[in-house]
Each structure stands twice: as structure tokens, then as C-alpha cells.
Amino acid sequence: MKERRNFDAAAALWDEEPRRLKLSQDIAAAIKAHVPVSAQWDAMDYGCGTGLVTLQLAPHLGSILGVDSSQGMLDRLTAKIRELAMTNVSVLRCDLEQGELPGRSFDLITSAMTLHHIPEPLQLLQSLRGLLKSGGWIALADLESEDGSFHDDSTGVFHHGFSRDMIMKVLQLAGFQKIAIVTAATVIKGERSYPVFLAAAMAA
């Protein structure tokens, strides 16, 4: 089986890349534009990393739980939560792929730039669907299909982005409806540009 990436090793310098902050700002803006986020909602950000998207959504929600399989990433997010004195953000180390569960359900689940690191996207989306309350929303942002040049290190990269047809299909199969897919951002790396989609949908 293909090797997973060790995100613990990347955590300390993750936020130092300006393109990552810009991407997270664009993704958070797209989520707010396409999902009726509410201050009454409890949300989860799956594969939250250092919380670049999590922390931007937090002021618009009742609460948000940053979930990641990397303790190193979560340690960075925990430090930022303390620095910013944010009271509605918490973290949990949890890997749904390993059958671990957060033990509660959510009105909104977001996930940014994580799906391409997941070998079986349908299984993950089915697990996320199971964690949503009735009528809850999912907001997924990831790379559109690319030629494999986005990552300098392809360790733990299981998909070179996704076609919109593929995302539509797996969301439908996982039990989502009212699926809308839009362009959320474009990442510029050197001479190349990589579109990033946002797929927003409701639990059927």
C-alpha cells in the first residue's frame, strides 16, 4: 500500500507559506457564500491541519471542532486557539479511516485540501454523512483534476485532484443532495495555476 504522509513533520512551518493562507481565506469565503452558516451551528473541520480554515469560520458559528489525524498539526492549532483566546474552537485527534469517531454529530462539516490524501473518498464521505445531523451541510474544498505537478513530494497523495463528475457521484452515493460545485480559489505555483473547487451539499 502507498505510504501516508507524515504531517507532524510539516506542522511547524505549515503557516509560513503565504499561498496557504490565501487559499484558506478564499475557501472560507466560498463556504460562507454557498452555505447558510449560522451562529447556532456546531461544526467540524475534518483534516483541519493548523486550523487555517477552522479559525476563519469560527466567528460565524456556534462552535467548531478541528479534527485531524496529526497531533503535530493539532498542537499548532491549540497554540493559536490560546493566543487568540478563542472560546468556541476545540480540537480532537481522530482518524475516521481507522474507525475512530468524534462521538457527536454536527450541523456542518468542512474539509479543505484533505480528500486527495484519502485513499477511499467514498468511504470517508459516508462516514462524514453519518456524523451530520438531519439536514446538515458538507463543504468540501480540494484540487480540481491536475497532472500530478501540484505536489513537490507526492508521498501520501492518493489523487491528483478530482473531476467535478467524480465529486458529484461520490457525494450522491454517500447520501448527499442539493449538490453545488463552484470554483473557490486558484493556487498559483510558478508558471502553473491550479483551480480549487468547493462542493457544498446537504445530508439527504
Ligand X SMILES: C[S@@+](CC[C@H](N)C(=O)[O-])C[C@H]1O[C@@H](n2cnc3c(N)ncnc32)[C@H](O)[C@@H]1O
* List of residues contacting ligand X (CB under 6 A): 7, 20, 24, 47-49, 52-53, 68-70, 73, 95-97, 112-114, 117-118
Min dist CB 75 to ligand X, Å, is 12
Min dist CB 11 to ligand X, Å, is 8
Report which residue type is found at 83: E
Choice between 53 and 181, CB closer to ligand X: 53
**Position with the least CB separation from ligand X:** 49
The CA-based dihedral angle spanning residues 29, 23, 72, 94, taken in that order and rounded to the nearest 10 degrees: 50
Q: Which grid cell sits at 56?
A: 476563519
Min dist CB 87 to ligand X, Å, is 22
Choice between 65 and 113, CB closer to ligand X: 113
Min dist CB 185 to ligand X, Å, is 11
Choice between 19 and 178, CB closer to ligand X: 19
Choice between 30 and 96, CB closer to ligand X: 96
